[in-house]
């Protein structure tokens, strides 16, 4: 069973055409269902740089399984990557072809304390600010991927949290890339320039989704 110590649940309810348009990817005629809850070991869409094209942001949409294959003393798939100085991640980070964008419409962190009414920890969902001139309903996590015996697998980067996420989860948050220059840089830059993107997104671009809104969209969650 996976321990919910970092981001281990997110949502991708947009469609393949929107992903292709925002991230400059070839969807290859693919259709995607609304993925309301994506947990570790689930298949999810990712965008990788085209292996046949030049070093540009042009990408391809693929389905991969969430969780980097375990190795060494690690016994479970790795979903989150924090220490980029570790030799475990250095080679993947240095190769732009091993980086990916993980399309997301919202992600969840678990409360540190149990809800006094239910006695259980609660999911808190986060997305980008609606109606913001700088905001987009669809964004991406900065991911790394590799081939495995059972097919390609991915994990995504985390960083110190901003205040919005840190109120709920003070240890970490995903590295969020907004469509455009940030995504292009992640897919094409050298290792040090890519590593420099391991920063929390500015608070004014994010929000915790109001519970009333979640109840309307997700009646089965609460």
The residues spanned by each domain of the chain are 10-217
Residue pair 126/209 in contact by the 8 Å Cβ criterion = yes
Q: Is the pLDDT of residue 57 over 60?
A: no
Q: Is the pLDDT of residue 215 over 50?
A: no
Third-level CATH fold of 10-217: hypothetical protein yedk fold (3.90.1680)
Q: Is the pLDDT of residue 170 over 70?
A: yes
Q: Is the pLDDT of residue 22 over 70?
A: yes
Q: Is 206 exposed, middle or buried (0-12, 13-18, 19+ CB in 10 A)?
A: buried
Output the pTM of the full model: 0.87
Beta strands in 75-219 (DSSP E): 80-81, 99-104, 106-110, 123-128, 139-146, 153-159, 173-174, 176-177, 206-208
**What is the structure's pLDDT at 36?**
95
């Amino acid at each position: 069973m996976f321990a919910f110590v970092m981001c281990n649940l997110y949502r991708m309810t947009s469609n393949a055409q929107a992903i292709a348009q925002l991230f400059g990817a070839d969807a290859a005629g693919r259709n995607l269902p609304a993925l309301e809850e994506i947990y570790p070991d689930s298949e999810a869409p990712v965008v990788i740089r085209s292996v046949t094209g030049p070093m540009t942001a042009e990408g391809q949409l693929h389905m991969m399984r969430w969780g980097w294959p375990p190795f060494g003393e690690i016994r479970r798939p790795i979903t989150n990557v924090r220490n980029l100085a570790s030799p475990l991640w250095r080679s993947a980070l240095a190769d732009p072809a091993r980086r990916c964008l993980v399309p997301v419409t919202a992600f969840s962190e678990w409360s540190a304390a149990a809800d006094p009414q239910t006695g259980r920890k609660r999911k808190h969902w986060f997305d980008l600010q609606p109606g913001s001139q700088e905001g987009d309903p669809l964004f991406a996590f900065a991911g790394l991927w590799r081939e495995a015996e059972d097919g390609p697998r991915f994990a995504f980067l985390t960083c110190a949290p901003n205040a919005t996420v840190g109120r709920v989860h003070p240890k970490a948050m995903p590295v969020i890339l907004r469509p455009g220059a940030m995504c292009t840089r992640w897919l094409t830059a050298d290792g040090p320039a890519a590593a420099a993107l391991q920063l929390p997104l500015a608070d004014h671009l994010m929000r915790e989704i109001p519970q009333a809104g979640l109840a309307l969209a997700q009646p089965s969650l609460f």
